[in-house]
Structures are given as C-alpha cells and as structure tokens.
Structure 1
C-alpha cells in the first residue's frame, strides 16, 4: 500500500497509470469499507482536486516529510477549506534518512492547519508508503473521525450521486464512474446527469465485477448513457416512491427526457442572455466612442471658426494629433497574432477538460491557442479535417487516420503524461514566435584622415584612412557609421586596403583605408563598426 504526495485523496492504493481519478472500494481489517478517491498531484489538475474535495467526506492531505509543504499542498488545503471538509494529515516518506516530519507540520501551521499536537483539531499520522509504517493508524484515524462525525446516508428513496469520470470503452460504449451519495442505484433505473440521461443497462464495481445495485459510498461504472456526462455532474434518479404503484418504465424514461430537455433549454437561454449582454456592451462602447468623436470634431470646428475670426492667434493642431493617433492605431493593428489550432481527444472527460484549460492558459499577446474541437475517444477523420494540429491524450490512431493526416499535413501527437504534453506544446509555440534579432559589433575603427584617390583619368574618390581600435574589421559583411553617437549610414565595404594591398581583415591597431558602396559623406572622427546580425530562435518563456 503506497500513499501519494501533495494531493487530496482518502488513501493511495496503487500508482495511477493514467491521469484520472481512481475510486477503489477497500475492505479494512476492522471490517469497515471505505471508498478512496485519488486525484493527480500535477498543478494542471486543479479542477480534479477541487471536485475531489467537494465529493469526499474526509480529506487525507498527504505531505512528504522530505519536501514539506509544496504549492500543490497549499492548493489542496484551499480546496478542502472551501468545501468545509474535515482534514486528516498523512506525513509520508518518514522512512527516508533526510525526512523531517516536524518541518512539514510547522509548514502546515502557516496555512491554517492546526494539528492536534499543537493544540488544534486536525489529526496527523506519520506514515511510509514503502514500509507500511503508520498505515493502520491512518486507517483507524479515518474510521474514528467518520464515526465521530456520524457520516450516515439513507439507502432508501431515489438515488443521488456524482459523476467522477466518464469515458468511451471499445465494445462497451459510453460509461461513467459514479459515486453514490444517497439511496440505492439499481440496474434498469433511469438517471439524469447534467444535460444527458441514462437507462442503466449494467453496472460494475471497482474490480470490474457486475453488480445489480450500489448503495451509498459505492463507486460503480454505469453503462447505458445516451450521451457522455461531464465529470462533476450530479446524478439524480428519475424514479421515486411511485415505483410502489407499478408505474410503467416508459413513464420514468419520459420523465428523464423531460428533465434533460428543460435543462438544455435553460442552458440555451443562459447562453443567449450572455451573448445578448456582450452585444449590448459592444453597442454601448460604440455609442460612447461615436459620441466622443463627435464632441472632438465639434471642438475642432469651434477652434477653427475662432481662428478665422481672429479670436485666437494659433491655428489648432488637433487634426495633426488625430492623425498621429490614427497612425499609432494602424501600427498596433499591424501586429500579427499567430494562432495555434488544436483538437483535443482524450481517454476520459476530466483529462480532456484539464488539457483544454492548460492550452487556453498558454496564450500570449503574440500567439493564440485555439481549441477548435474536443471529445472523448480515438481520433477520427472529422478531427483531422477540423484541426491544423491534433492533440491526443492516451488515445489511439489507426493507420488510415494517420495516412489521411499525413496527406492533409496535420500532425497528430499522442501523450500519456501531461508533463510531456505541455513541454512539447511550449516548444511548438516557441517555434511559431518570431525570432529575436540582435546586432553584434565585431570591430570598430576611427576615421583619422580622408584621402582623395585617383580612379579613372582625372576622377577622384574619397577614401577614409582609419585605425582599428577594437576587434577586427572584415571586408565581407555589413558596416555602419556612427557620428555623435547616432547612426548615419549602414551598408557594405567597397574596399579594404593596407597601403595599396587589398586585405580581407584588419585587426586591432592596424591602419587601413576604407571606401563604401555609394556613400562618401564620411568625416574625420566618425566611428566605423563591423556588425553581424544574429537571429536567435525564441522559446515560449522568452
């Protein structure tokens, strides 16, 4: 038995292979049965930890004795406190040589966790996931706290629960992991979750065994959904006490459909109201802008009339100011915002939502990440046609889809670890950003004297007699001329000579003659710099 670190759970039974919520039902040595809800510890899965805190009756906050309180620990504490759920602290890794449980306990005090040994009410147990140290004490603490809090639920009446996770399994269709909170869920019942409903065709427990009913606290996988519910949706059973009067099943199905239709209608109305608010806000801003423009124009006309009638001496320059502003707005409009389009497909709905939240958080003023589609299941032809890039999390792609994507030049990327996904996306976004262009000065020379050199017949040409003061001057490449700390010209050298010999490079301390392509307005004291343009690819964080 191992315990996870820095996340809200009620005990860690095994290492998670994929980033989803785990809900095993465990029989304790005391004869008690507890459902453990495990959530990922990565910072991206904040929504999962928040749902976990609101679903569980007791939160076990696991803190590593060697690391102490980490950012995810602080976030988990906030979720538990917001949900008003009692906390049990498990100090993990106490078997390590550098473990310091007291440091972790003192760190918790700074975030409002008052432990019993410091005069508070929150119990803390020192454990080890490797040796099993303290795990019996942790189980006993959880069971005792549950008894003290009198955590009870009624098995009778309509079932209520919450969707922990949902996914599509090949050969079985859409299924959802449901945690029953009250009542008893039975095969054949009609339930509603969010904007979808289900006639339960079959249920399996956490070990994959078929079950006919599930009582309070039991996690089951429910099959029979018309559409996939969202993680966190509340479950309500359409049946009630009228079951005793042998009401036909189609009545319950009609009731479930009616509830879902009403919810969809309400959702559409809320969406319309939000859209209407946006439209009205835009109209209001446009009206205010128009009023301001008319007021400015009226003021300009008044000042111009007063100027022509001798009431003011200076011609108003408001028109020039407006033109400058318009020019500034035009420059701002020219800033190109690149767009990274993606379709996100995942094995479970909670993971898809998390990945979408992560991608939306990667937007910058120069690049916009747009999720054009998402869903649960494997990548399809429609996904390839929809996106300019397809992102898959723990999903499969058959050869035909891969071929079609290759023809359409749509990259398909599959991940099973969120660290790799985020790192890869940031690398891709960095490649889309314009590179950083810098100018590097490799050498400087000062013009000491100007010579007139005969070229053809009586024609003369000005040549700058220079001394190299820093670095080296090369004939190949660009040079610029600086006068009074300002650049007056940039171009290429026409000649670089020492006495009458053409040279390719003049190093520090050497005197040489320089002439420039189509530029002759140099003077004594000018500084000539040999420059190189360096293009550096940008990363997402720069």
Structure 2
C-alpha cells in the first residue's frame, strides 16, 4: 500500500471523509457496512474501540472516515468535524428525500467549502424515488451531475451492501482531483476530534494528523494544554510508534483534556511546548455557549424566570453538545443561564459556586464523591448526575417547567341563588340563599353573577343552617353564608336574585 512520493518529504495522503445526513437516513448503516467490508483491520474482529474515526481500505488505497454523531444535539460537534475533512458524503434516503437535518448538513458542507458526494441510500426500498431526491436537492441549491451540476451521485443500499464499492471509487476519484499531499518532514500538526478522562490511563485524546509525523516522546500542544506523548494507538487499539498524515490516533500523556476541534502542533522540547501553550492563553473561548461568561455578565430578562446551572462534564465536547440541545427548549416565560462550567468531577468548589449563584449542579458522566454530595445536601444545593445527554435535557426541561405559573382550572361544585342580604363590612357580606344545584361548602370559591355577568369573585368562609355552623349545604337547602371578596378594590353589593357560581380551583402544572 505504497504512497507515491511527489517530492522529498511530500507524499500523497489518504482522503479524510465526513459522512453527514438526516437521522435515520442510514449514515450509521453505511459506515457499518463499510467497516464490515473494507476496514483495514490488523486483527480478526475489526474495530475494537470507538474513537471517532477509522480507516478503510479500497483496492490498495486507504480512506479515513470521521464517525461523527448524527443527532441534532451534536450538530455543533459535527460541524467542527466537517472542518477537518477533505470531502463529505451526504446521505439521503431515496424513499424520504430531503429532511431538516439534510438541509443542515448541506449548510455545514457549504460553509466548510467541501467537495461532496450524494449517497442515495435505501435504493432497494419500494418507495425509493431518486428523481424526487434530485429535484429536492436542487431546491437546496445542490445540482447533481445529471441535472447539469457538478455533484456526483451514487445509489447505494447499506442493507443489501450494494453500491458501496462504487461509492468508495467515487471518494478516491474526488480525492485524486483534490491532489491531497502533505510534507512529512514538517512538525506534526492536526486536530483533536475527541477527548476524555480514563480512570486507568488519565487524560486521553483522539487526534487526526494533518501534517508531519507524530512520534512517541514528542511534546504536543493543543490550545493551552501541553503534554508529552506516552503512548499512541490506532483505531483498532493497536500500539503505534508514529502516526502519519490522515491517520487517526489515540494519545495519552495529557495533563488535562484538550478541547474538541482544537488544532494541535508537535514540539521537540518541553520549553518550546510550554512557550507555544503560553502564547495560546488569551485565545477566545472555543464555545459560544460560554461567551457570556458568568451570570453577572449575561444580562437576564426581568420578564422571565431563570433556572441557574453549574455544569460539569467528562469531555469538553459534551459542553457544546449540551448547549446545542438545551437551546431547543424555548419559552417566553422561563429560561436557563449557566453560572459556571468545566470538565472533571463535581467538587466542593462547584457546590460553593452553585450556592453563591443560587444554582443547581448538573453532571454528565463525571464522579460525585460522598463528601461532595453531603456538602450539597447541607447547603441545600441540588445535584443531578447523568450518563445520557438527553436525560439532562429532560431534567432541565422539567426544572424549567416547574418555574412556569400553573394553569388554573375552575371545577364547578354548585349554585346558590341570593334570597336576602343582611350585613356588609368592608369586603365581607352576610347573605342568605337557596342551593340551586350541587352544594355550597366552607372554603370554596364563588363568582357573584348578575344577568350572566361576573360582578366580583371571592371565597365562602362560613356556612350556616338554622343559625348553626355547617361545613356544607346541599341542593334544595336554604342557608346563610359569609362571603369575602378577593379584591378589596373590586367590591359590589350583593343583591336579591344574584347567583353565586360555586367552584374549586385546580392548579395544573404546565410543561415545556
């Protein structure tokens, strides 16, 4: 599998391909089918771990695929993934055509100025209609080749494993036209595509090498994080001594988690690495999520109620994914704001921050020690930890829903016709009447109506029959009641013939 050398140090490298498309259109199925048929595995059994990228072999050539998440919550990460790719495959189901996430993927591809191929998947299904898909794509300003455009189309069936070889052929053809070459003699450069904390091995990052050769023992800098490479593995989990352009590699030796999407560069010596890291200290924040800074810097709208949060996650990419998902919760009455955020376990400092900011803490795939939990309980700070991102969304949705004013429903319980009035003092009136239907009970509410119009509302605080206090008077019975108007500014004189509509209020919790 030799690469053709263009000049000293410069070689043709494998293309890096990102696969995008609407959820359920078969992106994962296509990737799985390629894995099963073409993965360049060194051992029987193929891929042994998921690192966000893998390599497949077609003929005698390698292709690197970015395995990016496909749900809306990860659209921001997916967009960043497209920026590190040489080309894209846009997957569209032949039986469903263009969907919302298809349009989003097209936007990502165009913004990154990537050449791309349309993979018409599920071509084997009875409802498949390739011509409609091409027409709908034209509506998104994507003109395929047989519609007079330049975008190639390959019809495939991931289920039947048909058209995959043709798709790989087209990827290599596009790559050849792009003339992908890199100089291996330069210092290694690339991008971080995943990072997390492993209990046994410490901080781990998956990197995609773009230039140069990365070797064990090199110092590597990503943003403000600098570390010395202790070990490297390929996508199969096999140890590596070096990594070349377009190769995904798992790196250990980081002092902290480098941010997803951050470019890295290698350095020969520690001093050089530390200097490079120091120069990056003033970089603007990677995530738009936190550009507002702490709550004080992010002005809250007085007309809304706010849920305040401290968020801790396992990897930096999770922060962006959570923000993207939370932005889907919209309301004119309530909102959320982030007091603080970070990567790593929930600590005593987080509890103190939440207490000062009147916030609750959310953890995503991070440990919560018994001592921290006890401190949170003592300070009455809410702490919730999750392993699934969509459980966080539902939790926050529920917390925000609890801030909504409840819907008030009137449940009628009876009617009383006024036969006599006896006494009035301020907002209190003593009257007598007959229960026309249902019952009249102490503590119930009442609308005083006249000719169908509501004069005022109030509460029945006393019921008497034959001058004896009772809790309730039923239909057909005459009784005396004490009525207290709810609004002192809206008091009318109750008169004979008025009707009291008796009811109980039920408060119904609202949801977002």
Q: TM-score, normalised by structure 1?
A: 0.71
Q: CA RMSD in A?
A: 3.9
Matched, 1:351 2:318: yes
Cα distance in structure 2, aligned partners of 1:223 and 1:463? 83
Matched, 1:104 2:133: yes
**What displacement does 1:235 show?**
1.6
User: Which residue pairs with 2:241 in the alignment?
Assistant: 212
> Which has the bigger relative contact order, CA under 8 A and spacing at least 6?
2
User: Given that residues 82 and 112 in structure 2 are in contact (C-alpha distance below 8 angstroms), is that contact kept between their aligned partners in structure 1?
Assistant: yes
User: Given that residues 200 and 222 in structure 1 are in contact (C-alpha distance below 8 angstroms), is that contact kept between their aligned partners in structure 2?
Assistant: yes
Specify every segment of 5 or more residues in structure 1 that has no aligned partner in the other structure, as ranges. Answer: 239-248, 269-273, 283-331, 454-460
What does 1:108-127 correspond to in 2, within 5 Å?
108-127=137-156
Matched, 1:231 2:260: yes
Larger radius of gyration: 1
User: Which residue pairs with 1:417 in the alignment?
Assistant: 388
**What displacement does 1:401 show?**
6.0
User: Which residue pairs with 1:198 in the alignment?
Assistant: 227
1:527 to 493, 499, 511: 499
User: Given that residues 91 and 124 in structure 1 are in contact (C-alpha distance below 8 angstroms), is that contact kept between their aligned partners in structure 2?
Assistant: yes
Change (3 A) 1:511 1:25: same
**What displacement does 1:44 show?**
1.6
Cα distance in structure 2, aligned partners of 1:368 and 1:531? 34
Cα distance in structure 1, aligned partners of 2:383 and 2:124? 44
User: Which residue pairs with 1:24 in the alignment?
Assistant: 54
Task: Please give the per-residue CA displacement for 1:319-372, whole angstroms capped at 9, x wherever unaligned.
Answer: xxxxxxxxxxxxx97x783534333222x3212321144346647565453434
User: Which residue pairs with 1:55 in the alignment?
Assistant: 84
What does 1:330-479 correspond to in 2, within 5 Å?
337-346=305-314, 348-359=315-326, 362=329, 366-380=333-347, 382-383=349-350, 386-387=353-354, 389-397=360-368, 412-447=383-418, 449-450=419-420, 464-465=432-433, 468=436, 472-476=438-442, 477-479=444-446
Considering fraction of residues, name the structure with more helix: 1
User: Given that residues 356 and 371 in structure 1 are in contact (C-alpha distance below 8 angstroms), is that contact kept between their aligned partners in structure 2?
Assistant: no
Specify every segment of 5 or more residues in structure 2 that has no aligned partner in the other structure, as ranges. Answer: 1-18, 37-46, 286-290, 424-428, 486-491
User: Which residue pairs with 2:31 in the alignment?
Assistant: 12
Task: Please give the per-residue CA displacement for 1:187-243, whole angstroms capped at 9, x wherever unaligned.
Answer: 2223322122232222211111111221111111122223322111112233xxxxx
Q: After alignment, is 130-139 or 477-486 more displaced?
A: 477-486
Change (3 A) 1:378 1:206: farther
Task: Please give the per-residue CA displacement for 1:128-176, whole angstroms capped at 9, x wherever unaligned.
Answer: 2222121111111111111122222222212221111111112222221
**What displacement does 1:538 show?**
1.7
Matched, 1:129 2:158: yes
Cα distance in structure 1, aligned partners of 2:471 and 2:378? 53
**What displacement does 1:466 show?**
5.2
**What displacement does 1:92 show?**
2.0
Task: Please give the per-residue CA displacement for 1:45-84, whole angstroms capped at 9, x wherever unaligned.
Answer: 1211211111111101112233322211111110100111
For residue 114 of structure 1, give the secondary structure of its aligned residue in structure 2.
coil
User: Given that residues 94 and 121 in structure 2 are in contact (C-alpha distance below 8 angstroms), is that contact kept between their aligned partners in structure 1?
Assistant: yes
Matched, 1:488 2:456: yes
Cα distance in structure 2, aligned partners of 1:462 and 1:155? 96
Size of the aligned set, in residue pairs, is 449
Change (3 A) 1:413 1:126: farther
User: Given that residues 208 and 247 in structure 2 are in contact (C-alpha distance below 8 angstroms), is that contact kept between their aligned partners in structure 1?
Assistant: yes
User: Given that residues 5 and 63 in structure 1 are in contact (C-alpha distance below 8 angstroms), is that contact kept between their aligned partners in structure 2?
Assistant: yes
Change (3 A) 1:437 1:21: farther
User: Given that residues 463 and 472 in structure 2 are in contact (C-alpha distance below 8 angstroms), is that contact kept between their aligned partners in structure 1?
Assistant: no
Matched, 1:258 2:260: no
For residue 507 of structure 2, give the secondary structure of its aligned residue in structure 1.
strand
**What displacement does 1:23 show?**
0.4
Change (3 A) 1:496 1:99: farther
**What displacement does 1:408 show?**
6.1
